[in-house]
Structure 1
Amino acid sequence: MWIRRRQPGDSAAIVASEITSEATYLNRRALLQAALAAGVTGIGAAMWSDSEAAAAALKFTRNARFSTNEPPNSYEDITGYNNFYEFGTDKSDPAANSGRFKPEPWSVTIAGEAEQTGKFSLEDILKPHALEERVYRLRCVEAWSMVIPWVGVPLADVLQRFKPTSKARYVAFKTVLRPEEMPGQRYNVLEWPYVEGLRIDEAMNPLSLLAVGVYGKSLPNQNGAPLRLVTPWKYGFKGIKSIVEIRFTEKQPPTSWNISAPREYGFFANVNPNVDHPRWSQARERHIGAGLFNSRVPTRMFNGYEQEVASLYRGMDLAKYY
């Protein structure tokens, strides 16, 4: 098995003092991969932690074409400040409350308007595809942002394998339902399980990514282990986590936040500084990790990916289809 994880019962929270800097991490990962290639085993825990050893299991190439040149946030930022309501509504809750979640073994159901459907292991879905790293901006509807080095496969590559029919106008996604492991699902914050969707042309856009890792490491539970969606030109709530079903549909599928508050959260959820949330402005954003006194910066249309995705919405009223 090529994705290695913490065992059930291990602590999910990562102490700040135990976080490896990006430069040190990259150097260690390179050394570890070289050691593994040479057949070296039994590397001491004093030199590499379990999580760092797991990083070597994700072999990938960097896709510079779709990666921003902006410096990524720290591993601590990315794994410690999250929206994942299945584990709680506070930003620190996912890291604190996801330790009992079991991300393996894992399977994904492919259903709906496609020639090939069924239940597939995560390995079967990913095996034909080479992993790549893409450094994407993340912009959340609460007006904060990060830059994250995701590892995954293009969503289009996965979907095309199952041969969607001409009736497949949308792609719907569903999160696992495990309230015994995901304490947030015991409360009626949202309708569970979490559901999301894309128009088929959005799903097939080269930017759309199915992520299995971050910073070269397997996705931590709090970041959507073992499989999540990344669409960098949309607000973060579109990035459904811990995916167990992908369904091709003819009609627009329901989405969790649109069900909960349709006036506030539309189906498309494109980053648009000209369309405010009913309770706050989206014109500016706060970059996580930039310091307490860092001023907010202007939000970019489509989160800065206008060149790649604007053609998807040509002729649409983006104030109406928000």
Structure 2
Amino acid sequence: MSDGNKNIDEISGTETTGHEWDGIEELNTPMPRWWLGLFYLCILWAIGYAILMPSIPFLNSHFKGLLGYSDRAAVAMDVEAMDAQRYSMSTRLTGASLEGIQADPDLFRFAMAAGKSSFGNNCATCHGSGGQGFKGYPNLNDDIWLWGGTFDQIRHTLVVGIRAEHAETQANLMQAYGRDGLLDDEQIDDLAEYLLAFNSTDRDSEAVLRGRTIFAEQCVSCHGENAKGDQSQGAPNLTDNYWLYGGTKEDIVQTLYGGRQGVMPNWDERLSPETITALAVYVHSLGGGVDTPSPSMPVDGASQEDLQ
């Protein structure tokens, strides 16, 4: 249908463009006015943004915009503000006690977050991401501590290390009884039987008695007459069935034969005192406190006192 110079579609009543394909005419349906308005507004906004903000690239630089805004400068300012906030919180950790840190929720959250981050960067390689440890590397979750598990003891260990280069590093000596010829293979075997008897009744009772005598001659100065150990010397409790280097007879024989001299770095040369304090807070939260050794079992009807 034609309306003057306009072609009108008979069904829809809408003007057509005059284009036709196989008898099908194209309707001339304009875009909604609100859409066109929004489209033109976006064009104006883009032009304004290109003028005010960094936008047009040149050969060796770019148009910096009338406002002179820079994402790099904004990020640098944010980082500076974050560092200032961290510094403010870090200074509050200097010389702080665990009780004082825990009494301040914001400071405690900061210490835990900073300590966990530092642990992941420096300690997880040996102790595992969750502090679970591995054979030869202590589990920090089990409340079994060679040098003490209080907050102050943990922080001190982090500062001076164990058999490290610090002048006051903590160190002890586990003799290589076999390699150095202090005990023969049979004596080492008897001593291993004695140590295993604290937590198992399935041991050679005669070897246990011989091992007790050897223990009294060779081991009590560090581990004590009751084999409970001495944290002041870093001497482990041998009755709790926790073994850093493995608790099978083969593992214990190897330890007695060759000795053990594990090393933990002194972190005072790599970490700030505030970071060490935060790290101590985090590690203490994993398993700090009072040691709780497992109860020991008698051997062949003998009492625990008989083994000692």
TM-score calculated relative to the size of structure 2: 0.22
**The structure with more radius of gyration:** 2
TM-score calculated relative to the size of structure 1: 0.21
Q: Which has the higher helix share?
A: 2
Q: Which has the higher strand share?
A: 1
